[in-house]
Amino acid sequence: MALEVRTARDEDREAMHHVGQQGFAARPADYDEKSDRSATPLDRRLVAVEGERIVGRLAVWELGQWFGGRQVPMGGIGGVAVAPDFRGKGVATALLHQVVAAMRERGEVLSTLYPMNHTLYRRHGWETAGSYPEQSLDLRALTALPKPSRQIDIRPTAEGDLLAVSRLHEDVSRDEPGNVFHGSVFAARRLLGYAGIQEGYVAETDGAVTGLLILTRSDAPKGDQGFYTLSINQLVAADLDSELALLRLVAAHYPVAREVTLVVPPHAALTTLLGERDLRPAGQGWSWMTRLVDAAGAVAARSYAAEVDVEVHLDIEDSVAPWNAGPHVLRVKDGQGLLEPGGRGDVRLGIGRLASLYTGWAAPRRLARLGLLPGAGEQDLLGLDRTFSSRTPWSRDFF
């Protein structure tokens, strides 16, 4: 097999669409040029070509994630698909290896994705690193929420809202480890909702945008008394009144819709307002996996608690990105981190394991108890814990 992996071109659009449909669709949709042109830009898509035929594809969203209150540039991988008759021949492997190099060139020090297939990504250095806490909620419960204590105006999103909603999304995400930021205007457009598929609303307080809600309707499952169900793709609010105003809009769909799914971290306002186990885990069990594309760059890009003063000697295994591999010393002081080649290489770990520590998802002591951090002594575990521990990393943005 003479496989070539290259950046996508205009004439590849239709073939990429078909491979994507073969990968994910229950009922393959016809190619629609307009919708393809509104998807990720061509220079952020890779195709795998065998002879003349496109046999695999993937796309990268220009995103980032908040860690320690700083924006860390991240390539969000999506739409990895290989034609059924070419599976099991290393096509996805070739695409993933190339995309790691491409992201590094662009300064995307992290890569995150929502995996269908953990085995594939784990093998190439991604590891489970954060949660997507999807919950389902009986809409009737929302009708009992208190009213906002002041006037909040709600209206549909408009093109001109892009800057205001991006700023709002940044403000509410900054202190939430793992939350996504949008690294380009194109990526930020997701925040306005997709016309014809989603409904977008903003909340305004005295003329300023203080809340954003993106909703999608889908068919009610069999046995549900409603005509449709709702999912909330975005619910961000600068304050409780704006959040309550947006939730009233959602509640107003009751009883035609009976249920809504939404992403709610354990510390959200909603969990303090509802009771009777109205909010229940739901969804398809997604969590996200992260790879350190450039481990030194990733360590330097985030910030750390000011009082942390740590030195840990790591020995990193990374066969896909050799620039990350080998003995490295992790030093954290005065809120800054450095990962430099050299040192004793005491703690042996794969690049994926390091990603799961970096985001705050994995607890060093627990990993050690499971035998997953060979060589780590008590001081190393303490050092890694002080460096990376945080509230559970999570994301409300799915891509």
**Nearest-approach distance from CB 136 to ligand COA, in angstroms:** 23
- Tokens for 302, please give them: 């985030």
Which CB atom, from 63 or from 188, has the smaller least distance to ligand COA? Answer: 63
**Does 90 contact ligand COA by CB under 6 A?**
yes
Among 51, 88, 196, 285, binds ligand COA (CB under 6 A): 88
* Contact track, ligand COA, 35-74, x by CB under 6 A: ----------------------------------------
CB of 61 to ligand COA, least distance (A): 13
Q: Which is nearer to ligand COA, 120 or 372 (CB)?
A: 120
181/302 Cα distance (integer angstroms): 14
Nearest distance, CB of residue 29 and ligand COA, angstroms: 15
Amino acid at 323: W
The Cα–Cα gap between 172 and 211 comes to 10
| Cis peptide, bond prior to residue 255, ω within 30 of zero | yes
- Strands (E) across 83-197 are located at 110-113, 127-131, 134-138, 153-156, 180-182
Q: Is 122 in the site for ligand COA (CB under 6 A)?
A: no
Q: Which is nearer to ligand COA, 66 or 132 (CB)?
A: 132
In whole angstroms, give the CA distance from residue 173 to residue 395: 9
Considering only 117-125, 126-134, 206-214, 251-259, which stretch makes contact with ligand COA by CB under 6 A? 117-125
By C-beta, is 103 or 246 nearer to ligand COA?
Answer: 103
10 residue type, one letter: D
The phi and psi torsions of 341 (rounded to 5 degrees) equal -60, 150
DSSP string, 273-299: H--TT-EEE-TT--EEEEEESSHHHHH
Angle at 298 between CA 212 and CA 174, to 5 degrees: 25
Identity of the residue, 351 or 376, whose beta carbon is nearer to ligand COA in the bound complex: 351
Helix (H) or strand (E) segment spanning residue 65: strand 53-67
Kindly tell me which residue out of 54, 63, 82, 215 binds ligand COA, with binding defined by CB under 6 A.
Answer: 82
Q: Per rule CB under 6 A, is residue 348 in the interface with ligand COA? A: no
* Span 208-227, contacts to ligand COA by CB under 6 A: none
Shortest Cβ 288–ligand COA spacing (Å): 11
Q: 183 by DSSP, 3-state: which? A: coil
Q: Residues 264, 267, 268, CA angle at the centre, nearest 5°? A: 50
Residue 97 in contact with ligand COA, rule: CB under 6 A: no
- Six token digits for residue 283: 């969804």
CA distance 270 to 278: 11
Answer yes or no whether residue 130 interacts with ligand COA by CB under 6 A: no
- CB 124 → ligand COA: shortest distance, Å? 8
Note the residues at the interface with ligand COA (CB under 6 A).
23-24, 80-82, 87-93, 115-117, 119-120, 123
